[in-house]
Amino acid sequence: KQEVTQIPAALSVPEGENLVLNCSFTDSAIYNLQWFRQDPGKGLTSLLLIQSSQREQTSGRLNASLDKSSGRSTLYIAASQPGDSATYLCAVDYGQNFVFGPGTRLSVLP
């Protein structure tokens, strides 16, 4: 069964801290892995997409890594800001379907 888990479920940090969000998946036969941001009441915003052949992707203060063999991905957020407060979802693309993690709720305190 294809499952995706995320740790921690919730995280509250003061502004300026660097933080790491973790994602684990049971089936390593992935097409790609994607990190999304979801603000309350809003749809999904794609942050980073990592192909199965890649090890990491970077966009601004965000860096995502992928270790397919161990079934893990991490999202690193540098110098966090209050505007980063949202739910971060990890989603694994198996080619014909996505499997989403439960998300990590991030609160960055000013």
Choosing from 31, 63, 72, 74, the residue that interacts with another protein (CB under 8 A) is 31
Report how many residues bind another protein under the rule CB under 8 A.
22
1 sits near another protein (criterion: CB under 8 A)? no
For the bound state, the minimum distance from the C-beta of residue 63 to another protein, rounded and expressed in Å, comes to 18
Q: Provide, rounded to whole angstroms, the least separation between the CB of residue 100 and another protein.
A: 4
Which residues within the stretch 78-97 sit at the binding site for another protein (CB under 8 A)?
89, 91, 93, 96-97
3-class SS string, the chain: CCCEEEECCEEEEECCCCEEEEEEECCCCCCEEEEEEECCCCCEEEEEEEECCCCEEEECCEEEEEECCCCEEEEEECCCCHHHCEEEEEEEECCCCEEECCCEEEEEEC
Cβ contact 23:5 at 8 Å: yes
Residue window 36-55: x/- pattern of binding to another protein, with contact defined by CB under 8 A: -----xxxx-x--x-x----
The residues of the shown chain that bind another protein, judged by CB under 8 A, are 31-32, 34, 41-44, 46, 49, 51, 89, 91, 93, 96-103, 105
